[in-house]
């Protein structure tokens, strides 16, 4: 008979970045085991948990990155020890997606799986505690109070208790518990063995209290007689009157007793505590009313009808929903999801950053209630586990979240939506360096789903695909209810300076703020990135204080009077004089949100300010609180960074002031113009969303910049046309592919030489028609965390050719081990 093999990655390998191993599938398991299952395998001298990624008939894997380090030599292949039958940790569809990603982004399959399969969901080895046969009958031989208490809890759980479960229930540390357990083992009450438990159920457990004795009235009567036990009688009565429906904490609260009194009742055997698992809901308590009932606009309707047809056909159908801010895109998402759910399939809704879009998330929650599961990095491990399981088990059918939500374990996905598809945060900047858009397309293809890419300012690449008819285009060119786009006034700040205005507010902006305050309309002031330009500069010698470990200027925080590095978090105190020339005229230069706030307070003393940046929004939920204040309080000005640029829908805002439009323009990146345009358009879109017309004042030192002008006219088309020509001329995406190879290491010379060596060997392999190597050169951020950085760029029409040549070089060159090489296919930035 032919042998069957399983390609397995072990739990240990998931932590690092390694390959798969081959195991023999014993005959009795061949019918059971399939890719995606959890198994137990021998590994070195231990047995460990592993995950089957492929079943093969030979000992080598077909998957590109799966590889047996032992090769096909005489090595003895060990058998699988155990299959956890009902535990599929990943389905075959996601497994093929992972394979595709590993190949496309040139990284290991395990690194991709690690990213798809979040930690906290894996089986772990633990001590298993079982009650010895019949030992409950000699519980009375246990003399110590603690031991009896522990034994009782074990009894309540029959056979499925692990050491860490027990520790959770008793609040006794595992180390101490082990001592108690050994003593119970020696007295023959329990048996201890090792087992592999499903992820530590960090799921929230509640304890329902119920009465144990039949003859409760008699017992109550007895207890009431003694002063010492009268309280116990009272509790029992309370539980009885409420038909056993309260939890431990509820009984304690409502009957005004200490939970420990209830535990005493349990120890006496009067009541039992039954464990019930409640799934956490990160949005609990935030459900509002149902959905809206608009008459759809003609454009919304057209897009939706077409989306419905595709959903019904169950065919891969990618499309771009290009709609200006406030044109009703979100409504299209909501109704598409409704329709998808009605067909019995599930949907994924991706947003760039969850904390920045509380309003958007709330709208989905209002519409779909419990069917929504949230997946994002700010969830606690337990919350993520719950949400993940709710999706896998079909309890929730709308996965909302940041890029990782794309990997939601849905049984039958039918719709993937990517809101603000142009956003930078959709690209992961650690391994695997995937772009959500590319992977979303692949997942939609694999599952026959509809993919909606939505944006007011689509990325050049996406719009090009629409123009080339590779994806469909739906446009929503108007705001709903004929609301007008705000008028944008460009103010040249150099002119202001010449006229003697040295403040950060142009005359025009000052006037506009006064007017708004008078009419009690809302104002937002926007500044690019937290303290982005607030570096310390010596007015005499021009010295800029930089981070010791990263070649970037340190940022000044006036509240702490300290300098911090935004790359490595290095912090130092502000020196009293210039470290270079000892001049005392050392000042901070440029503006941060704090500075703007200070200036507002000076200029408009009776206005209140709310500052929203990464400093004021550290705490969970602080966004919401700040925004609510902004909404409720009168004469309030919201000051913020990127955070206030996105997704906010406040009809009362009539004025948006952009303090400086320039910060993104000068970045050394071919996407700098695109980013500027997107950001400015987005911020402007915050004004005039209600019945009152909106107004934007855009302050800049570069009033002639194409991105600035196009944004001021809300003119995506002309911006796109200019940009696409430039991309074509210079051979940038979407016309040519780019792979960036970055070298980092402690010794600058070695880093440089390694990059040169590799670039040279690539140049030998590449023909001019296939592509070329640009560089190597020092990266714009030449040093981060004390590591020197060099890079080069591979550019060519066929990304596959570039990938193959790079793969070949990486596997044949033996490069200096002290240099780290990272490959970024279609990089989002070049810093
Ligand atoms: P976008 O996502 O494009 O910025 P939204 O979907 O948020 O636009 O719509 C902007 C506002 O208009 C929201 O308050 C929304 O509830 C409302 N809206 C959406 N569609 C309609 C419609 N057809 N008629 C009236 N109001 C609508
Ligand atoms: Zn630093
Ligand atoms: Zn100086």
Decide whether any atom of ligand 1 lies within 6 Å of the 528 Cβ. Answer: no
Closest ligand 1 atom to residue 685 Cα is 4
Query: β-strands 37-43, 46-56: how paired?
Result: antiparallel
Q: What is the pLDDT of residue 208?
A: 79
- Token representation of residue 171: 């609040």
Decide whether any atom of ligand 1 lies within 6 Å of the 419 Cβ. Answer: no
Centre of ligand 1 from the C-alpha of residue 326, in Å = 6
Centre of ligand 3 from the C-alpha of residue 575, in Å = 11
More confident residue, 139 or 658: 658
Mean pLDDT of 397-412: 93
* Angstrom distances, CA of residue 434 to CA of 204, 316, 442: 33, 21, 12
Q: What is the pLDDT of residue 348?
A: 97
Alpha-helical (H) ranges within 484-621 are 493-498, 507-519, 593-603
Q: Of 706, 700, 733, 704, give the one whose Cα is nearest residue 718.
A: 706
Beta bridge mates, 77: none
Buried b / exposed e along 413-450 (16+ C-beta atoms within 10 A): bbbbbbbbbbbebbbbeebbbbbbbbbbbbbbbbbbbb
- Token representation of residue 633: 């309080």
Residue 775 has pLDDT above 70, yes or no: yes
Residue 13 has pLDDT above 90, yes or no: no
pLDDT band at 16 (very low <50, low <70, confident <90, very high): very low
Centre of ligand 3 from the C-alpha of residue 780, in Å = 24
Q: Cβ(475)–Cβ(323) under 8 Å?
A: yes
**Residue with the nearest Cα to atom 15 of ligand 1?**
328
Decide whether any atom of ligand 1 lies within 6 Å of the 323 Cβ. Answer: yes
Q: Of 707, 773, 766, give the one whose Cα is nearest residue 739.
A: 773
Q: Phi first, then psi: what are they for 266, rounded to 5°?
A: -70, -45
| 125-196: CATH class | mainly alpha
Domain with CATH 3.40.1440.60 in the chain: 5-116
Query: Using alpha carbons only, what angle is made at residue 329 by residues 325 and 333, rounded to the nearest 5 degrees?
Result: 150
Closest ligand 1 atom to residue 333 Cα is 6
Distance (Å, rounded) from C-alpha 55 to C-alpha 383? 33
Domain with CATH 1.10.10 in the chain: 125-196
Distance (Å, rounded) from C-alpha 315 to C-alpha 445? 8
Residue 484 has pLDDT above 50, yes or no: yes
Q: In this structure, how many other beta carbons lie within 10 angstroms of the beta carbon of residue 542?
A: 10
Q: Of 828, 826, 829, 647, give the one whose Cα is nearest residue 101.
A: 826
Distance (Å, rounded) from C-alpha 759 to C-alpha 772? 10
- Token representation of residue 375: 């997946």
Distance (Å, rounded) from C-alpha 211 to C-alpha 831? 66
pLDDT band at 205 (very low <50, low <70, confident <90, very high): low
Beta bridge mates, 535: 555, 589
Q: Which ligand is nearest to the CA of 783?
A: 2
Mean pLDDT of 132-152: 80
DSSP output for 428-483: -SSSS--BHHHHHHHHHHHHT-EEEEEESS--HHHHHHHHTTSSEEEEE-S-GGGP
Superfamily in which the 5-116 domain is placed by CATH: PriA, 3(prime) DNA-binding domain (3.40.1440.60)
Distance (Å, rounded) from C-alpha 25 to C-alpha 635? 71
Residue 691 has pLDDT above 90, yes or no: no
Q: Which ligand is nearest to the CA of 334?
A: 1
Decide whether any atom of ligand 1 lies within 6 Å of the 335 Cβ. Answer: no
Mean pLDDT of 1-17: 71
Query: Using alpha carbons only, what angle is made at residue 805 by residues 804 and 807, rounded to the nearest 5 degrees?
Result: 65
- Token representation of residue 527: 């500044």
Mean pLDDT of 720-734: 88
Q: What is the pLDDT of residue 419?
A: 94
Superfamily in which the 487-532+591-725 domain is placed by CATH: P-loop containing nucleotide triphosphate hydrolases (3.40.50.300)
Beta bridge mates, 23: 6
CATH of segment(s) 737-825: 3.30.70.600
Query: Using alpha carbons only, what angle is made at residue 301 by residues 295 and 307, rounded to the nearest 5 degrees?
Result: 140
Centre of ligand 2 from the C-alpha of residue 554, in Å = 8
Q: In this structure, how many other beta carbons lie within 10 angstroms of the beta carbon of residue 28?
A: 8
Fold for domain 298-479? Rossmann fold (3.40.50)
Residues 6+ apart with CB under 8 A from 338: 367
Q: Which ligand is nearest to the CA of 539?
A: 3
Buried b / exposed e along 343-357 (16+ C-beta atoms within 10 A): eebbbbbbbbbbbbb
Mean pLDDT of 111-126: 72
Decide whether any atom of ligand 1 lies within 6 Å of the 248 Cβ. Answer: no
Q: What is the pLDDT of residue 421?
A: 95
Question: Which range has the top average pLDDT, 503-512, 593-602, 611-620, 812-821?
Answer: 503-512
Distance (Å, rounded) from C-alpha 520 to C-alpha 499? 30
Distance (Å, rounded) from C-alpha 278 to C-alpha 176? 28
- The fraction of the chain above a pLDDT of 90, given in percent, is 26
Residue 69 has pLDDT above 60, yes or no: no
Q: What is the pLDDT of residue 331?
A: 93
Domain with CATH 3.30.70.600 in the chain: 737-825
| CA within 13 Å, CB half, 309 | 6
Distance (Å, rounded) from C-alpha 416 to C-alpha 439? 11
Instruction: Give the tens place of pLDDT for each residue, 291-342.
Output: 556 788 999 999 999 999 999 999 999 999 999 877 899 999 999 999 999 9
Residue 346 has pLDDT above 90, yes or no: yes
The dihedral sign for the CA sequence 273, 279, 284, 290: negative
Decide whether any atom of ligand 1 lies within 6 Å of the 310 Cβ. Answer: no
Residue 104 has pLDDT above 90, yes or no: yes
Query: Using alpha carbons only, what angle is made at residue 533 by residues 527 and 536, rounded to the nearest 5 degrees?
Result: 145
Decide whether any atom of ligand 1 lies within 6 Å of the 70 Cβ. Answer: no
Decide whether any atom of ligand 1 lies within 6 Å of the 301 Cβ. Answer: no
Instruction: Give the tens place of pLDDT for each residue, 782-793.
Output: 888 889 999 898
Q: Which of 692-701, 719-728, 761-770 has the lowest mean pLDDT?
A: 692-701
Instruction: Give the tens place of pLDDT for each residue, 511-560.
Output: 999 999 998 888 999 886 543 445 677 767 767 787 777 666 777 776 67
Helix H, strand E, coil C: the string for 368-390 is: HHHHEEEECCCCCHHHHHHHHHH
* Angstrom distances, CA of residue 40 to CA of 27, 48, 118, 154, 484: 16, 6, 19, 26, 63
Residue 241 has pLDDT above 90, yes or no: no
Q: What is the pLDDT of residue 746?
A: 93
What 3-state DSSP class applies to 188? coil
Q: Which of 169-178, 448-457, 560-569 has the lowest mean pLDDT?
A: 560-569
Q: Of 55, 82, 60, 56, give the one whose Cα is nearest residue 70.
A: 60
Q: Which ligand is nearest to the CA of 785?
A: 2
Q: In this structure, how many other beta carbons lie within 10 angstroms of the beta carbon of residue 14?
A: 19
Query: Using alpha carbons only, what angle is made at residue 545 by residues 539 and 548, rounded to the nearest 5 degrees?
Result: 165
Q: Cβ(304)–Cβ(335) under 8 Å?
A: yes
Choose the residue to mutate in 321, 331, 681 for probing ligand 1, maximizing ligand atoms within 8 Å of C-beta.
331
202: which DSSP letter?
-
pLDDT band at 87 (very low <50, low <70, confident <90, very high): low
H or E element in which residue 790 lies: strand 787-796
Decide whether any atom of ligand 1 lies within 6 Å of the 480 Cβ. Answer: yes
Instruction: Give the tens place of pLDDT for each residue, 18-35.
Output: 577 889 999 888 888 888
Q: From the CA atom positions of the chain, what is the Rg in Å?
A: 31
Evaluate the omega torsion of the peptide bond into residue 240 and state whether it is cis, within 30 degrees of 0: no
Residue ranges with strand state E in 242-309: 271-278
pLDDT band at 66 (very low <50, low <70, confident <90, very high): very low
H or E element in which residue 163 lies: helix 163-170
Query: β-strands 124-131, 190-197: how paired?
Result: antiparallel
Helix 230-241 with 259-267: angle, nearest 10 deg: 90
**Residue with the nearest Cα to atom 17 of ligand 1?**
328
Domain with CATH 3.40.50.300 in the chain: 298-479, 487-532+591-725
Decide whether any atom of ligand 1 lies within 6 Å of the 617 Cβ. Answer: no
Q: What is the pLDDT of residue 356?
A: 62
Helix 329-342 with 358-368: angle, nearest 10 deg: 30
Q: Which ligand is nearest to the CA of 554?
A: 2
Closest ligand 1 atom to residue 363 Cα is 16
**Residue with the nearest Cα to atom 24 of ligand 1?**
294
Q: What is the pLDDT of residue 289?
A: 43
Q: Phi first, then psi: what are they for 63, rounded to 5°?
A: -70, 140
- Token representation of residue 355: 């904390």
Distance (Å, rounded) from C-alpha 658 to C-alpha 698? 5
Buried b / exposed e along 95-107 (16+ C-beta atoms within 10 A): bebbbbbbbbbbb
**Residue with the nearest Cα to atom 4 of ligand 1?**
326
Q: What is the pLDDT of residue 413?
A: 96
Helix H, strand E, coil C: the string for 647-695 is: CCCCCCEEEEEECCCCCCCCCCCCCHHHHHHHHHHHHHCCCCCCCCCCE
Mean pLDDT of 804-813: 88
Distance (Å, rounded) from C-alpha 69 to C-alpha 812? 17
pLDDT band at 287 (very low <50, low <70, confident <90, very high): very low
Q: What is the pLDDT of residue 355?
A: 67
Question: Which range has the top average pLDDT, 71-85, 224-238, 518-532?
Answer: 224-238
Beta bridge mates, 212: none
pLDDT band at 132 (very low <50, low <70, confident <90, very high): confident
């Amino acid at each position: 008979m032919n042998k069957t093999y399983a390609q397995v990655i072990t739990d240990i390998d998931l932590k690092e970045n390694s390959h798969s191993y081959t195991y023999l599938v014993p005959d009795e398991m061949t019918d059971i085991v399939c890719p995606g299952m959890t198994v137990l395998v021998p590994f070195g001298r231990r047995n460990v948990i592993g995950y089957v990624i492929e079943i093969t008939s030979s000992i080598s894997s077909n998957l590109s990155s799966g590889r047996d380090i032992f090769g096909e030599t005489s090595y003895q292949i060990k058998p699988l020890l155990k299959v956890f039958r009902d535990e599929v940790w990943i389905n075959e569809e996601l497994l093929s997606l992972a394979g595709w990603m590993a190949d496309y982004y040139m990284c290991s399959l395990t690194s991709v799986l690690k990213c798809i399969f979040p930690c906290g969901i894996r089986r772990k080895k633990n001590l298993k505690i079982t009650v010895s046969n019949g030992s409950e009958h000699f519980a009375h031989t246990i003399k110590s109070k603690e031991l009896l208490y522990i034994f009782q809890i074990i009894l309540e759980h029959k056979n499925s208790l692990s050491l860490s479960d027990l520790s959770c229930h008793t609040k006794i540390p595992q180390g101490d518990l082990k001592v108690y357990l050994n003593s119970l083992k020696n007295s023959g009450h329990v048996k201890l063995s090792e087992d592999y438990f499903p992820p530590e159920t960090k799921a929230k457990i509640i304890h329902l209290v119920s009465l144990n004795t039949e003859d409760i009235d008699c017992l109550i009567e007895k207890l009431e007689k003694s002063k010492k036990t009268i309280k116990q009688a009272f509790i029992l009565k309370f539980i009885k009157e409420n038909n056993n429906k309260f939890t431990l904490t509820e009984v304690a609260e409502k009957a005004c007793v200490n939970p420990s009194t209830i535990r005493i009742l349990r120890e006496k055997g009067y009541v039992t505590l039954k464990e019930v698992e409640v799934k956490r809901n990160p949005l609990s308590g935030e459900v509002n009313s149902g959905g809206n009932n608009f008459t759809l606009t003609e454009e919304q309707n057209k897009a939706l009808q077409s989306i419905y047809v595709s959903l019904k056909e169950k065919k891969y159908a990618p499309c771009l929903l290009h709609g200006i801010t406030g044109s009703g895109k979100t409504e299209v998402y909501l109704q598409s999801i409704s329709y998808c759910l009605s067909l019995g399939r599930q949907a994924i809704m991706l947003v760039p950053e969850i904390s920045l879009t509380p309003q958007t998330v709330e709208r989905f929650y209002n519409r779909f209630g419990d069917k929504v599961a949230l997946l994002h990095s700010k969830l606690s491990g337990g919350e993520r586990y719950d949400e993940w399981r709710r999706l896998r088990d079909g309890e929730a059918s709308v996965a909302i979240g940041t890029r990782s939500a794309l990997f939601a374990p849905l049984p039958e996905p039918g719709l993937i939506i990517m809101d603000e598809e142009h956003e930078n945060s959709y690209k992961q900047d650690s391994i695997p360096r995937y772009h959500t858009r590319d992977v979303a397309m692949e997942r939609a293809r694999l599952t026959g789903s509809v993919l909606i890419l939505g944006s007011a300012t689509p990325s050049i690449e996406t719009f090009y695909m629409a123009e080339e008819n590779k994806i469909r285009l739906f446009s929503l060119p108007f705001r709903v209810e004929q609301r007008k786009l705000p008028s944008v006034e460009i103010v040249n700040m150099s002119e202001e300076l010449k006229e003697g205005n040295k403040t950060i507010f142009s005359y025009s902006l000052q006037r506009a703020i006064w007017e708004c305050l008078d009419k009690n309309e809302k104002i937002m002031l926007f500044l690019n990135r937290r303290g982005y330009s607030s570096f310390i500069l010596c007015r005499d010698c021009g010295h800029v204080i930089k981070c010791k470990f990263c070649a970037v200027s340190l940022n000044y925080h006036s509240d702490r009077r300290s300098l911090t590095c935004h790359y490595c978090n290095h912090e130092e105190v502000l020196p009293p004089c210039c470290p270079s020339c000892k001049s005392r005229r050392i000042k901070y230069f440029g503006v941060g949100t704090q500075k703007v706030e200070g200036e507002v307070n000076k200029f408009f003393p009776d206005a209140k300010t709310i500052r929203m940046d990464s400093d004021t929004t550290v705490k969970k939920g602080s966004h919401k609180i700040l925004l609510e204040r902004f909404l409720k309080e009168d004469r309030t000005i919201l000051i913020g960074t990127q955070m206030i640029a996105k997704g906010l829908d406040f009809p009362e805002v009539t004025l948006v002031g952009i303090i400086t439009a320039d910060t993104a323009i000068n970045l050394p990146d071919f996407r700098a113009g695109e980013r500027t345009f997107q950001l400015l358009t987005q911020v402007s879109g915050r004004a005039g969303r209600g019945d009152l017309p909106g107004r934007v004042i855009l302050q800049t030192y570069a009033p002639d910049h194409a991105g600035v002008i196009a944004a001021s006219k809300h003119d995506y088309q002309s911006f796109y046309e200019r940009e696409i020509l430039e991309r074509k001329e210079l051979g940038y995406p979407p016309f040519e592919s780019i792979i960036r190879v970055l070298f980092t290491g402690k010794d600058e010379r070695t880093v440089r030489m390694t990059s040169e060596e590799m670039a040279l060997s690539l140049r030998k392999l590449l023909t001019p028609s296939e592509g070329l190597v640009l560089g190597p050169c020092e990266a714009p951020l030449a040093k981060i965390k004390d590591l020197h950085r060099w890079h080069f760029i591979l550019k060519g029409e066929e990304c596959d050719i570039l990938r193959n040549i790079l793969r070949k070089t990486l596997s044949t060159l033996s490069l200096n081990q002290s240099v780290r090489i990272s490959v970024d296919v279609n990089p989002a930035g070049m810093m």
